[in-house]
Structure 1
Amino acid sequence: MTEVFELQYALDTFYFLVCGALVMWMAAGFSMLEAGLVRGKNTTEILTKNIALYAIACVMYMVCGYAIMYPELGSTFLVGIGGNGVEGGDTYAPSADFFFQVVFVATAMSIVSGAVAERMKLWVFLAFAVAMTAFIYPMEGRWTWGGESVFGMYSLSMVDFAGSGIVHMAGAAAALAGVLLLGARKGKYGKNGEINAIPGANLPMATLGTFILWMGWFGFNGGSVLQTSTVDTANAVAVVFLNTNAAAAGGAIAAMVLARILFKKADLTMILNGALAGLVTITAGPDTPTPLLATLFGALGGIVVVFSILAFDKIKIDDPVGAISVHGVCGLLGLVLVPITNADATLMGQLGGAATIFVWVFGASLIVWAILKAAMGIRVTEEEEYDGVDVSECGLEAYPEFTKG
């Protein structure tokens, strides 16, 4: 390799790895966000799920998921990653690509964790994590980023820059399938149709989690440029960072204003979800909008997520952290908005890709959840739910001095 190529190779590989590390840090963000939005008696189990699912995702994607999603790359992964990236036209190490991909898998699975919180058995959740990260996610990734046809029948023409649909909507679809079989938390919905709020235990922790996710998203979207060693790619990275930040800000402000209009209060949980909704919305196409348009796209996500959370409550789909609305509904919104600024995308192509992802992930997940329900049961007992799953599932309490009389 020439000196110029060696420098480019080193820079792009280092950038790829740093962005992957930022996305890995999002696991901490999900942990803190979910732990803050559930009741104190379920905190330890939430934290256990998040660290365990990350470990499971790393192992299962290495064992088979990567090879399913990228057959040409993954077929030689376990016996050693060779090559220097020249043949494929890449200027980064193949192992860096795997690392960047595996943290996306973990992100998709993290979305499921919060939606089924406070009433699902821990080991059932972890068993589903194996299926999701080893097969369900890699298959839809094979049809999208992998470029393969869907079961040999048709090819997708969807544009999804960093994964509004491929990662976020997929995670939400898996979560929705689990929630439908699991049912709502006891006391969430009254017999006469009333909706009872169940406040989270630690809003400072939830806010910290949101800021961590906001920061990690720069790696999520910025890393998807794949390179930064030329003038063009460096400028592209800067645009993606700028638009990602703008969309999050727009989403937070829009959700805050809408909450003030609807509830006469500045609802912090809606503001947090608004920022995340803006991030999810822009993820499908952060490279083409102007900063003002990115802000407006994020604001639209912040508005949609508030109405979506309220709508899911009305139809009695209990999602303690609003994950299905943030990642599913706003993931779809992000895909639909891409053609506005990207001439390579069409509305029908975006909708076709979204439908394929949802039908596959939701259907496959529903089957896996149903098998687990029949074999093991997926819900803790009513007594265990009342006492909190920390003790029954983990044998530890997150805040023992506050819960013991």
Structure 2
Amino acid sequence: MNTKHASLTSIGTAPWKFLLLAAALLFSYALPVHADDHVEAPAVTEVEEEAGPVDDYNELLEAQGEYAPAYDFFTTSMLWTVIAAALVFLMHLGFATLESGLCQRKNVVNVLFKNVFIISIGVVTYAFFGFNTHYPGEFNGWFSWGGMIGDLNADGGNTWGYGGLGLAMTGFGDFIFQAMFAATGATIVSGAVAERVKLGSFMIFAVLFVGVAYPIAGSWHWGGGVLADMGFKDFAGSTVVHAFGGFGALACVMVLGPRKGKYTENGIKPIPAHSFPLAAIGVFLLMFGWYGFNGGSVLSAEPGALGLVFTTTTLGACAGALGAITVSWFMLKKPDLSMALNGLLAGLVGITANADVISVSGALIIGLIAGGLVVVSIIFLDKSKIDDPVGAISVHGVCGVWGTIAVAIFGTGDFSMATQIKGTLLVSVFAFVFAYIVFSVLKAVMGVRVSEEEEERGLDISEHGQEAYTN
């Protein structure tokens, strides 16, 4: 029997149940309702007031002074800042996965180990001296060595005292977000020198590149130095982070030389990636983390800016992939997955300098050009016998420069092309020279390259005595 019909039959056979239910409902609606019933009921409010939470909240509001009406915005912005920092941290998983996927299986442990070291040493050195070198306060515009961070809540832990409306976060929020950026430069280099670099030499280089060179270059722009005085525009670091890492990588690769057997008398010998699934996962993790990289650079949860930055970031990335697919298919006669993946990253790098000042059409054009550029650059470097297993120099260096210059072309503001070129040249040349000198000194003192036998066997066994795969 249908259950709906069964319930009706039950009521029909016992009408007294229906009448009792109706009477109860009528009685409940007939009870008087007083406006003050809802006020008197929650006596808990008085208990809470005596216990302190309300007083504590009122004290927090009073501490905001003229900013008190926007305290909830401050709290939301601080929450978004630490979420963005976590997303940027996730990018290091993306780098590790992408690099290990594009390398040979005999070098996967080595790639992963370097990525663990880079994020660890990057955050620690940033706490010891990087942060206060990056943001030195009063200095000559070029260099001021900083000490270790202290109590960054001292000037406004629960108030707007640290940065006001333009920097809606606490001191510790600012530190942890910027610390996640710091290690990125050496991570870019890690991919370019993969499969033949000595682990110890690279670790020493990473300490100096991340701990010393990056905070100095960053202080020129974000610390109020010479680039800031010039009016240089680089929203989230197409130059200060990506071109910095890309041209540092170029210097190291030139000192290190190509992988054994890559360039022969008969031409270029491809060294295939061992896992395209890992590489693809890495790229999508990087794109996901980029929402924190660019979105967090708004430095608050201001709705209009966040929506624009998320949109331009996404459009730039997707246009970059389409640009790379089109150009590589035309040049290589086949649709190349590695080029498509690098195109996605190229679009992201290209959009990073300008995501907050461009239109939808501008984002699409910038990304599309970046995608085409990365293909041409990778092929050109390969023909020039500059061996970059993951395309880091092209993705971060070349497209970082393009994205910074694009500010003057597509940005909705008064941006100088000469200033943009001058700024990106200053950072790129500094990164190249610093890396070239440090790597050359390491080469002379302790060597930077494993032996041919070790390279042939694989760095997993020769450097670590471990294998990523057991079969």
Residue-by-residue CA offset, 1:198-250 (whole Å, 9 max, x unaligned): 1110000000000000111111011111111xxxx211101100110011100
**Residue aligned with 2:467, SS:** coil
Q: Is the 8 A contact 1:156 1:352 kept in 2?
A: no
Q: Of the two, which has the highest radius of gyration?
A: 2
Q: 1:86 to 1:400 in 2, by over 3 A?
A: same
Mapped to 1, the partners of 2:447 and 2:147 lie a distance apart of 38
| Residue 175 of structure 1 pairs with residue 249 of structure 2 | yes
| Residue 215 of structure 1 pairs with residue 288 of structure 2 | yes
Of 80, 88, 112, 2:189 maps to 112
Partner of 2:28: none
How far is 1:78 from its partner? Answer: 2.8
Of 113, 116, 122, 1:57 maps to 122
Partner of 1:299: 368
Partner of 1:86: 161
| Residue 324 of structure 1 pairs with residue 398 of structure 2 | no
Q: Is the 8 A contact 2:131 2:149 kept in 1?
A: no
Unpaired runs of at least 5, structure 1? none
Q: What does 1:189-338 correspond to in 2, within 5 Å?
A: 189-192=263-266, 194-228=267-301, 233-338=302-407
Of 245, 257, 261, 1:187 maps to 261
How far is 1:191 from its partner? Answer: 2.3
Q: Is the 8 A contact 1:19 1:223 kept in 2?
A: yes
**Residue aligned with 2:313, SS:** helix
Mapped to 2, the partners of 1:156 and 1:173 lie a distance apart of 22
Q: Which amino acid aligns with 1:260?
A: W
Q: Which amino acid aligns with 1:377?
A: G
Q: Which amino acid aligns with 1:369?
A: F
**TM-score of the superposition, structure 2-length normalised?**
0.81
| Residue 34 of structure 1 pairs with residue 99 of structure 2 | yes
Partner of 1:380: 450
Of 88, 110, 123, 1:23 maps to 88
Mapped to 2, the partners of 1:363 and 1:266 lie a distance apart of 37
How far is 1:173 from its partner? Answer: 1.3
Q: 1:316 to 1:45 in 2, by over 3 A?
A: same
Q: Which amino acid aligns with 2:111?
A: I
Q: Of the two structures, which has the highest relative contact order with CA contacts closer than 8 Å and spacing of 6 or more?
A: 1
Q: Which amino acid aligns with 1:80?
A: D
Unpaired runs of at least 5, structure 2? 1-62, 139-144
Q: Is the 8 A contact 1:144 1:156 kept in 2?
A: no
Residue-by-residue CA offset, 1:164-215 (whole Å, 9 max, x unaligned): 00000000111111101000001100125x1111111000000000000011
Q: Which amino acid aligns with 2:309?
A: V
**Higher alpha-carbon deviation: 98-107 or 69-78:** 69-78
Mapped to 1, the partners of 2:111 and 2:365 lie a distance apart of 33
How far is 1:158 from its partner? Answer: 1.5
Mapped to 2, the partners of 1:87 and 1:78 lie a distance apart of 14
How high is the sequence identity, in percent, across the aligned residues? 43
Q: Which amino acid aligns with 2:294?
A: N
Partner of 2:213: 136
